Chains A and B, each alone.
Chain A
Amino acid sequence: MYNSPYLRQNTSVRRVMVTVLVAMLPAIAVQVWLFGIGLLLQIALASATALACEAAMLSMRRRPVARALGDGSALVTAWLIAVCLPPLLPWWMIVIGTSFAIIIGKHLYGGLGQNPFNPAMLAYCVLIISFPALMSQWPGLQGSDPATQLHWVLGGERALDAVTGATPLDALRTGLLGNADVSAVMQSAAFGHVAGAGWEWVALAWGAGGLLLLALRIITWHIPVAFLGAMALVSGVAWLIDPSHYASPAFHLLAGGTMLGAFFIATDPVSGATTPRGKLIFAAGIALIAWLIRAFGAYPDGIAFAVLLLNICVPLIDIKTQPPVFGHKVEPPDGGAR
């Protein structure tokens, strides 16, 4: 039995999720081109783990497995985990991270739509806290041959010097710790035009995917604009005050996970704020905390932690930013009937 409306727009959760996956493709392509096929192995592994965990959890919770698997939400989580992690991690790390995200981050809270934390970021944080060394090894830009990559993914011995391609954020942190100033660090080989060789392209590809999501009305402008705006603002102010210790806004916007975070991670509807003003506050908060962690914290990139911190605040933000309801925006005439 169902009642009006009898007309429904042709839309579904599955459609939304598949669109997100499609929008991730450009950036994935650029990363593969830069760092080799390691990322593809990682995506495949994460996807398989996510689907298996999802199916297991659903059947344990006695929910219809096929229907919920088909919604694609587990795949989005898996892909986000895969692109956040450095490529060529040993397989068991991917498995641990993904199953943590799906089992603990999602289903223990009640499954799709109920999780207060972004599951992908939860997985990232768990991994970076547990395995900080492995998590900071990004492969060199030149890449290595697929066989070696496979060898590493399967958990084989790693020739450490072959994986020394530190990310620009890492390099900046190490450089600054070594008392070099920003411009000096930027001169080094790892840096391209702005934010590290190749990294600008990755960031721009994320941005392009994000614009696609905006154009298809999967996300609204609030979160990306507030995120990037706040990031530019805080880093810009700091940079104007002391350019030798703080990197430029352009660097911050294009380095690390800024673009990915602004368009794909902070926009996760389930764990994010929902009201328009709430979204602005939520995203600006993430950007601010992420910059603070980058500038003063112990981890090179703080987006994941920032997202989780703001996830905690979401109920409060939502309650405080409820938009006025039709007819309740202004006082009624002569203070009258209310």
Chain B
Amino acid sequence: MITALIVMAGLALVLGATLGAASVLFRTQGDPLVDKIDAILPQTQCGQCGYPGCKPYATAIAGGEADINQCPPGGDEGVRKLADLLGREYKPLNAEHGIEKPKSVAVIDEATCIGCTLCIQACPVDAIVGAAKQMHTIVADLCTGCELCVPPCPADCIDMVPVAETVENWKWRYPVFELKVQPATLPAKEAA
């Protein structure tokens, strides 16, 4: 009996020590969690989450300072993925930070642009080209649709245009699966 106890206790000690040593020896470098979170965030870099970009928000989530439902461009799906990754409860997008919108790109009205470069400075991903006093243009492929360039423009010449569906990016729809006859009348059931 006593031998058994000693053996078990000894075993526990040895295993615990090994585990502890392993965690010190094989500690992962850097913080992969931040990168994993950052990989889920849409990289729009719009700051709607309250942080100056996606990476800072990712760091804040990893540090437990921010909630997972503050990124409107990531939308519902983004929240779900974060909840999955972090093993947290899903929660709907926090409307304080904005609502999910269809993806848009900024377009500069080239006739009105005065070449002030203010939008260039605002753009987090260098999607605007142009030089002082010359007309500016947005490279649509690079624009993330963050809208940060819209307010600084003194001539009010930047519009957000939703990305149009084209033959190239058109998607096949989810096939309708019409097995259910009528929509579930849950409220009635609850009342009963």
Please determine if A and B sit in direct contact within the complex, based on CB atoms under 8 angstroms apart. Answer: yes
Chain A positions within 8 Å of B, measured between CB atoms, are: 1, 62-64
Q: Does B5 contact A (CB under 8 A)?
A: no
Interface residue count on the B side (C-beta < 8 Å): 7
Question: Once the chains are docked, how many angstroms separate the CA of A62 from the CA of B176?
Answer: 17
B182 sits at the interface (CB 8 A): yes
Q: Determine whether the beta carbon of A1 is less than 8 Å from that of B176.
A: yes
Alpha-carbon separation in the docked complex, A1 to B180 (Å): 17
Across the interface, name the chain A residue whose C-beta is closest to B183: A62
Ordered by A's residue number, 11 sampled pairs between the chains whose C-beta atoms are within 8 Å are: A1-B173, A1-B176, A62-B180, A62-B181, A62-B182, A62-B184, A63-B179, A63-B180, A63-B181, A64-B179, A64-B181
In the bound complex, residues from chain B placing their C-beta under 8 Å from that of A63 are: 179-181
In the complex, A64→B179 CA distance in Å? 7
Q: How far does the Cβ of A236 sit from chain B's closest Cβ, in whole Å? A: 48
- Interface residues of chain B, those whose CB is within 8 Å of chain A, are 173, 176, 179-182, 184
Q: How far is the CB of A290 from chain B (nearest CB, A)?
A: 36
A2: nearest residue on chain B (CB-CB)?
B175
Chain A to chain B: the 8 pairs with minimum beta-carbon distance, closest first: A64-B181, A62-B180, A62-B181, A63-B179, A62-B184, A62-B182, A63-B181, A63-B180
Report A66 CB to chain B, min CB distance, Å.
10
Q: A residues within 8 A CB of B173?
A: 1
Chain A CB within 10 Å, residue with most, of B173, B180, B181, B184: B181
- Smallest Cβ distance from B32 to chain A, in angstroms? 28
B179 contacts which chain A residues (CB < 8 A)?
63-64
Q: Return B35 CB to nearest CB of chain A, in Å.
A: 28
How long is the Cα–Cα vector from A1 to B177 in the complex, in angstroms?
A: 11
CB-CB < 8 A to B182: which residues of A?
A: 62
Q: Which residue of A is nearest B180, CB measured?
A: A62
> What distance in Å separates the Cβ of B48 from its nearest Cβ neighbour in chain A?
37
Which of A1, A62, A63 has most B Cβ within 10 Å? A62
Shortest Cβ distance from residue B192 to the other chain A in the assembled complex, whole angstroms = 13
CA distance A62 to B184 in the complex (A): 7
Closest-CB distance, A12 to chain B (whole angstroms) = 16
In the complex formed, the residue of A with least CB distance to B185 is: A62
Chain A min CB distance to B175 (Å):
8
CB distance from A297 to the nearest CB of B (A): 36
Could you list 4 further interchain pairs (A-B, Cβ under 8 angstroms) beyond the known A62-B184, A64-B179?
A: A1-B173, A62-B181, A62-B182, A63-B179
Contacts of B176 in A (CB 8 A): 1
